[in-house]
Amino acid sequence: MTKCKLEYIWLDGYQPTQSMRSKTKIVEDFSGNFEDADIWSFDGSSTQQAPGGSSDCLLKPVFCCPDPDRSGTGFLIMCEVLNADGSPHRSNGRATIKDKDEDFWFGFEQEYTIFDPETNKPIGFPAEGYPAPQGPYYCSVGAGKAVGREIVEDHLEQCLQAGLNVEGINAEVMMGQWEFQIFAKGAARAGDEVWIARYLLDRTAEKYGMVINYHCKPVKGDWNGSGMHANFSNTTLRTCGSKEVYEAICQAFEPRIAEHIDVYGADNDQRLTGLHETQSIDKFSYGISDRGASIRIPIATVEKGWKGWLEDRRPASNADPYMVASAIIATVRTANVPAAV
């Protein structure tokens, strides 16, 4: 029999931003299907998810992929947290997704910053002061501009070996800031893959003695913040061929600013200022190719005859993709789409 290492991964109860936790379970001859992974338990009193006198919380496997650091015998198991009675824990963002079909597709652009724990600054920043102003770092190449590439490339390979649907990477606007993109059909699957990719990123950075900072404004001042832009579509957006339909869906977001900001990440007011390619946090706008809008209509969508997707640029890098997707679906469902479509 083959001993297999299952890494159970879950989100804790810390607020306002949850952290990832994980622990290893050894089993024999695991199939690789999450349905065959047992429900497990953990001490919720150590993760702000239960009191000490009744501390057991449950881990329900919902997604599985190969663990690239434990090739052949290791698997990463994404889990939902349940109460002892089997009901979803209040910290369980995945449980807020009501649509279980794959009509909604999501592409998340996860930005992050690699931090040097010795300086508590982004990698490449001098110990005192700042590097040259941003401008040359976006999609850059070369020493002094693309800093931390070895970590980013290692992470990309890890994600590919795990079978995640990573669609690309690039250096971002601030030095030490990078991005990866994940696409999936279905809100739950998209969230699962983003969280596993974040887990692999954190674990990869460990090997280099670095820390991944997901805060949406990791460096104050004239530096871009970090977002998790949410590209989304459903059958209507992919096939309607109608500018009026797109405008109706965009307009459905305007009266629901608060509902979205509530789940779009902590401290997002520091990022959504109206500067650095953002709209102000208390305003809503949309526009074609407008990176300063709340929702951007990609030029590719227009060129394909209004058949494509939309990009909500407001989610912060520290947001929960489950809750972001859930909010977007709920709002799109309220859109007053023209009857002819």
Residue spans of the domains in the chain: they are: 3-96, 105-333
Q: pLDDT digit string (tens) for 22-50? A: 999 999 999 999 999 999 999 999 999 99
Angle made by CA atoms 238, 241, 243, in degrees to the nearest 5: 110
Q: pLDDT digit string (tens) for 239-285? A: 999 999 999 999 999 999 999 999 999 999 999 999 988 999 999 99
Given this chain, do its domains 3-96 and 105-333 carry the same CATH topology? no
CA atoms within 13 A on the CB side of 95: 15
pLDDT mean over 102-108: 97
pLDDT at residue 225 is higher than 90: yes
Residue 340, pLDDT score: 57
Superfamily name with CATH number, domain 105-333: Glutamine synthetase/guanido kinase, catalytic domain (3.30.590.10)
Mean pLDDT of the chain: 96
Q: pLDDT digit string (tens) for 281-300? A: 999 999 999 999 999 999 99
Answer yes or no: are the C-beta atoms of 122 and 148 closer than 8 Å.
Answer: no
Q: pLDDT digit string (tens) for 187-220? A: 999 999 999 999 999 999 999 999 999 999 999 9
Residue 99, pLDDT score: 80
Query: Exposed, middle or buried by CB within 10 Å (0-12, 13-18, 19+), for 6?
Result: buried
Cross-strand pairs, 76: 7, 65
pLDDT at residue 341 is higher than 70: no
The CATH number for 3-96, chosen from 3.10.20.70, 3.40.50.1970, 3.40.50.300, 3.30.830.10, is 3.10.20.70
User: Residue 173: which of 139, 141, 143, 148 has the closest Cα?
Assistant: 139
Total residues belonging to the chain: 341
Query: Exposed, middle or buried by CB within 10 Å (0-12, 13-18, 19+), for 280?
Result: middle
